[in-house]
Amino acid sequence: MKKRTLGRTGWSVSEIGFGAWGIGAKWWGPTDDRASLDALAAAWDAGINFFDTAYVYGDGHSEQLIAKALAGKPAVVATKVPPKNDVWPAKSGSPVNESFPADWIRSCTERSLKNLKRDALDLQQLHVWTDSWLAKDEWKETVARLKKEGKIRAFGVSINDHDPNSAVELVASGLVDTVQVIFNIFDQSPAEKLLPLCKEHNVGVIVRVPLDEGGLTGTLTKDTTFPKGDFRGSYFRGDNLTQTVTRVDKLKGLLNGEAQTMPELALRFLLSHDAVSTVIAGMRQKKNVAANTAVSDGRALSPSLMGELKKHAWARNFYGRWDD
């Protein structure tokens, strides 16, 4: 497993990280804790040392599984504070004290420390963000106190879905160690402003949704259905699934010696950007761990293939249609 530096933290983290949303027993339909623990163990054995979770991934269940699987192991674990008002994504101009009042940030940090069975959180993140909060001081002071108390080692934010420019002022401010952002073959917008700015300010970049919630795996068809409780039934609702499969079929024409499967193509595309610190992929089964970690061999895609992939950028937001 190749390692990269996570921004100004200086930590050496696996360039393929473990995205732990899917093991939280919520949002992704039925889960098997034994299989999840086996996948976590396989990830560690394969060299993954960066694990990203959040309290809302099963109301602490994902955090608790990670604590069990990684007990005594020197892994870097990131988690997140959910917005108190339960508004996703954050709205520009909304009061930060409705989403992240000081006592809420502190209580959520304490709760995650308990779930993860740790004395300090390696990386605490706000689960939504808008740059309109940048001028407010209370949340900054709370984060600074938690760092001083040794309860968090580093701090970052998870950027709103498909809106990387909503955090460019934050990155430039020097107040965050990392940002987490949606970045994949379809949504290439972070490469325009956010990634260069993160390089300039030495801010770590954690890439989420690298496979477009399964769309870029190449395994979906126009007739695919999802289990009860699996949020992808909403994500790929209506003609979303048909549009996705049609576009992925065109991408399959680019598979060659540089990448032989769609997941490999998708992950290599991201790792070919040197501003990226780690790519967190969902891995609920050991076979997914093996496939994803095999991509970490230091081989970037050629400029010509990167140029072809750029033509497949697709501006859309399927999350915004969940409540239609």
Q: Where are the alpha helices (DSSP H) in the chain?
A: 33-45, 61-69, 96-99, 102-116, 138-148, 168-173, 194-201, 232-235, 240-251, 262-271, 286-293, 303-310
pLDDT of 25: 72
pLDDT at position 26 over 90: no
Average confidence (pLDDT) over 31-60: 95
Cβ atoms within 10 A of the Cβ of 102, count? 16
Give how far Cα 155 sits from Cα of 97, 115, 122, 182, 248, Å: 18, 18, 8, 18, 36
Q: What is the dihedral of CA 253, 254, 260, 266, to 10 degrees?
A: -120
3-state class (DSSP) for residue 148: helix
Q: Which domains does the chain have, with CATH numbers?
A: 3-321 (3.20.20.100)
- Of 15-19, 89-93, 95-99, 268-272, which range is least confident? 89-93
Average confidence (pLDDT) over 98-102: 97
Q: What is the pLDDT of residues 205-217, one digit of tens each?
A: 999 999 999 999 9
pLDDT of 228: 85
- For 230-263, letters b (16+ CB in 10 Å) and e give bbbebbbeeebbebbbebbeebeebeeebbebbb
Q: What is the pLDDT of residues 241-292, one digit of tens each?
A: 999 999 999 999 999 999 999 999 999 999 999 999 999 999 988 999 999 9
pLDDT at position 323 over 70: no
pLDDT at position 322 over 60: no
Cβ atoms within 10 A of the Cβ of 265, count? 23
3-state class (DSSP) for residue 126: strand
Question: Are residues 62 and 54 in contact, defined by beta-carbon separation less than 8 angstroms?
Answer: yes
* pTM metric for this prediction: 0.96
Burial class (CB within 10 angstroms; exposed 0-12, middle 13-18, buried 19+) of 37: middle
Q: Average model confidence (pLDDT) for the chain?
A: 94
pLDDT at position 194 over 80: yes
pLDDT of 305: 98
Q: What is the pLDDT of residues 132-167, one digit of tens each?
A: 999 999 999 999 999 999 999 999 999 999 999 999
Give how far Cα 278 sits from Cα of 7, 159, 256, 267, 272, Å: 10, 15, 24, 10, 11
Tokens representing residue 108 in the block: 């959520």
pLDDT at position 115 over 80: yes
pLDDT of 29: 67
pLDDT at position 220 over 70: yes
Q: What is the pLDDT of residues 52-78, one digit of tens each?
A: 999 999 999 999 999 999 999 999 999
The Cα 286–Cα 15 span in angstroms is 18
pLDDT of 321: 43
Question: Nearest Cα to 53, choosing from 122, 102, 104?
Answer: 122
pLDDT at position 50 over 60: yes
Percentage of the residues of the chain whose pLDDT score is greater than 70: 97
The Cα 265–Cα 287 span in angstroms is 17
Which residues have a Cβ under 8 Å from the Cβ of 238 and sit 6 or more positions away? 321
